[in-house]
Structure 1
Amino acid sequence: MEYLVTMTTQVPAGTPEGDVQDIRTREAAHSRDLAAQGNLLRLWRPPLQPGEWRSLGMFAAGDGDQLEKVLASMPLRVWRTDEVTPLAPHPNDPTGQTEKPRSVAPEFLTTFTVTVPAGTPRETVDAALAREAASAREQAGQGHLLRLWTLPGQGRALGLWQAGDGAEIQAIMASLPLSVLGWMDVQTTPLTPHPSDPALAGG
């Protein structure tokens, strides 16, 4: 099973810089080990405020208990809080497995929330979902859509995308059939590379 983990680190005031660097070095080494074991799939940095220390990680584990053991084994956990979101397969996922980036294009996470208007005929819904599935295949074929998962909650999904810039990803989101219908709310998070990302390290 795959999980998205938001990892927020707060170093205690007065901690010597040498101690911080030591743990960061051990964290990087342990991340490589977790990647080799197949537990750590990807790492990114989301937009950060000055002084904020936060990462997004894609992990694989048999269940929540195994994931907790993985997270607890990471050296930075002594200063870190983790927010775990379980991910389930999505029928429009283009690969069924985590891919490495296909290019150096920026990556984005998108959270979709679909709300079908009450009273919409079933055949109208089915036709819209079929167009959305076809669009997902097209976007994957163009190298934009890398992964798609189902999130907890009704009508929610998470996507991993590549695009040239923020304007291009917004144009892609606006072109999706469910967005055109006004049935889908999209929240987009731009991602920047993390030095311990297994994909960038050749993981």
Structure 2
Amino acid sequence: MGEFLVELATTVFEGSGPAEVDRRRAEESVGAGGLAAAGHLVRLWCPVGELRGIGLWGAADEGELYEKVLGTLPLWRARRTAPPRMQGQPLRRPTDAACCRSRPRSTSPARVR
């Protein structure tokens, strides 16, 4: 499964009242929850006060990303996207050996303040 970092900006249609916007955002939240449960939505960041989100999505390819993942979201028609494909090394945990090779190793425990 490929990983895609996608910025989604929502456009509020002219004539949509606050109640309609709230209803649609609630539907979007349910849809995103289903995609997260299915493993397609890995992380989602929503800047405070903005109608946009930045998500890390999983799909086999861009076709699946648009048709079977993002395309299932209730607000998809009202979205503008910017989907750069993640290239290079897969995401790694800081404890992975390959991730730590380039850093000097210490025998003393790290101190957190």
* Same fold at TM > 0.5: yes
Return the offset for 1:133.
5.6
C-alpha distance in 2 between matches for 1:136 and 1:94: 18
Give the distance between the partners of 1:61 and 1:134, measured in 2 at CA: 30
Aligned to 2:60: 62
Aligned in 2, Cα 1:89/1:21: closer, same or farther, shift over 3 Å?
A: same
1:45 positional shift: 2.3
Q: Which amino acid aligns with 1:65?
A: G
CA contact (8 A) 1:94 1:137 kept: no
Equivalent position of 1:88 in the other structure: 87
Which structure shows the higher strand fraction? 1
**How many percent identity over aligned positions?**
31
2: CA distance, partners of 1:3 / 1:136? 31
Gaps of 5+ in 1: 96-131, 143-203
Q: Secondary structure at the match of 2:34?
A: helix
Question: Which residue in 1 is equivalent to 2:39?
Answer: 38
Of structures 1 and 2, the one scoring higher in RCO (CA 8 A, sep 6+) is 2
Q: How far off its partner does 1:88 sit?
A: 2.5
TM-score, normalised relative to structure 1: 0.43
Structure 2 Cα separation of the partners of residues 2 and 56 of structure 1: 13
- For the aligned residues, what is the CA RMSD? 2.6
Residue in structure 1 matched with residue 102 of structure 2 by the alignment: 134
Counting matched residue pairs gives 99
Unaligned 5+ runs, structure 2: 94-99
Q: Provide the C-alpha distance between the structure 2 equivalents of 1:8 and 1:137, rounded to a whole number of angstroms.
A: 42
CA distance in 2, matches of 1:75, 1:25: 10
